[in-house]
Amino acid sequence: MKRIQTVADVNLTGKKVLVRVDFNVPISNGKVTDNTRIRASLPTVEHLLRHSNKVILLSHLGRPNGQKNSKYTLRPVAQELSFLLRRPVLFLDDCLGPEVASTIDELGDGSVILLENLRFYAEEEANDPTFSAKLASYGEAYVNDAFGTAHRAHASTVGIPRLIPIRVAGFLMQRELEFLGAKTSQPERPFTVILGGAKVSDKIAVIDALLNRCDAMLIGGAMAYTFKFALGETVGKSLVEPNRVEDAHRALLKARDKKVELILPVDSQCTDLLDLEKKKIGKLRTVEGSIPDGWIGVDIGPKTIRSFGKCIADSRTILWNGPVGVFEIPACAEGTSAIAKFIADSKALSIVGGGDSIGALHASGRAEDISFISTGGGASLEFLEGKELPGVAALDRKQT
Ligand code: AMP
């Protein structure tokens, strides 16, 4: 596939530039409580401002279901962005309407404008052509820096770029494509993938795709029990997806054929009671091998932690997605914290994705030691599966 053009490849100066960003951030009492995604957009915004463009920012926030709803206003984001950029950010309380175009035209070069939540209109997610045309009319160039929504064919990811002659990736998008794409397609070896989380069904496509690229795959979390079940082990009351046992079996065979070391937990922390909603567990014990009746595997055990740690230490490229235990309950978080630490300690190129794994990294205070933290949940998985993301397909390719 030809490389995507980025903001650095085109001559954007003194233009009205529409920038699709992902400002879907947590807000409490009118204040942004985690500005990671806003900070992630700064390199692109600052680059465009340095070249005297007018930056018109487009984003969604939450799920307002096509209705205007003050609970989902982007206004607090404008304040936070203004603080981070150290310059005024004009917030418009609608993304459509007669004032939008005239306000943009009246502002000087180097201005920053944030339009209200795109999802206040159902037309955004419906990729409505009239809605796209109105938004497209505000700009002369289009930049997509919202990797997290690139797997959705919405007006702001697909509809607008169809109508604008210059459509390129921002720096954040570029980094996501580089790390999740090139760096895992031609990895420095050994390349180890660590996958966890609740369901095989969510990850089977990514398991299948990554078995073509990696040297070792470490599987933890509830997913591991469907794999162990497929190998004929008893797993007690652990979470198993009976209709995915066949898929797990196929993945095990593929790993053998491809000579990928697929490593499952040899021991587990087990409990006799798990109430995720109340974050309560019963008695805890370490079980090696098969899990007895009535017991539930909730974390990888100490031997598994050591063997996963050794494999991670021997790797030169590492990709991690998904917790290896019920890490929301502190007594079941040891495995996930250990993985975060092993990866942070390693000198390998490390890529971490998925909200829970990133949360565990931040909790361990080691996020700075990771080469790349992906901002896209579903989009990262779809991209790693090898799917072409509609929001990426909509951007211009390099000619050579
Ligand atoms: P995912 O969204 O697929 O990455 O899954 C994350 C969820 O998997 C978290 O809420 C974890 O609590 C859950 N999880 C991880 N390990 C287990 C396990 N052994 N049993 C039940 N749930 C688990």
Residue 77 confidence (pLDDT) above 70: yes
Active site residue 355: yes
What is the rounded CA–CA span in Å between residue 380 and residue 387?
A: 10
The dotted CATH code for 187-385 is 3.40.50.1260
CA proximity to 350, closest of 160, 198, 187 = 187
pLDDT in tens, 255-278: 999 999 999 999 999 999 999 999
For ligand 1, mutation pick of 218, 239, 356, 384 (most atoms within 8 Å of CB): 356
Average pLDDT, integer, range 303-318: 98
C-alpha closest to that of 72 among 128, 19, 123, 30: 30
Look up residue 357 and give its two tokens.
Answer: 């794994």
Whole-number Å distance, alpha carbon 358 to ligand 1 midpoint, is 14
Nearest CA residue ID for atom 11, ligand 1: 326
Phi, psi of 40 (to 5 degrees): -65, -25
Q: What is the pTM of this model?
A: 0.93
* Tokens describing residue 117: 């939540």
pLDDT tens for residues 362-382?
Answer: 888 999 999 999 988 889 999
pLDDT band at 328 (very low <50, low <70, confident <90, very high): very high
Domain 16-173 identical in fold to domain 187-385 = yes
Is residue 359 annotated as a catalytic residue, yes or no?
A: no
User: Is 221's C-beta closer than 6 angstroms to any atom of ligand 1?
Assistant: yes
Once rounded to an integer, what is the mean pLDDT over residues 88-109? 95
CA distances to 7, 92, 181 from 359, in Å: 30, 32, 23
Task: Fill in the amino acid letter for 178.
Answer: E
Classify the phi-psi angles of 115: left when phi > 0, otherwise alpha if psi is within -120 to 50, otherwise beta.
beta
Kindly name the residue from 294, 355, 397, 398 that is annotated as catalytic: 355
Asked if residue 399 has pLDDT above 90, the reply is no
| Position in ligand 1 atom list of the atom nearest CA 323 | 15
**Among this protein's residues, is 199 annotated catalytic?**
yes
Q: Is 378 a catalytic residue?
A: yes
**pLDDT at residue number 341:** 96
DSSP string of 173-194? HHHHHIIIIIHHHS--SSEEEE
pLDDT at res. 264: 98
Mean pLDDT of the chain: 96
CA of 223 from ligand 1 middle (Å) equals 8
- Residue 398: the pLDDT is 87
| Residue ranges covered by each domain of the chain | 16-173, 187-385
What value does the mean pLDDT take over residues 102-131? 97
- Is the pLDDT confidence value at 1 over 70? no
Q: Whose alpha carbon is nearest atom 2 of ligand 1? A: 197
Q: Which CATH number fits domain 16-173: 3.40.50.1260, 3.30.1950.10, 3.90.1150.10, 1.10.1200.10?
A: 3.40.50.1260
Predicted confidence band at 307 (pLDDT cuts at 50, 70, 90)? very high
Pocket test for ligand 1, best of 264, 326, 337, 384 (most atoms within 8 A of CB): 326
Contact 129, 159 (CB under 8 A): yes
Q: Is the pLDDT confidence value at 10 over 80?
A: yes
Question: Strand 267-271 relative to strand 296-300: parallel, antiparallel, unpaired?
Answer: antiparallel
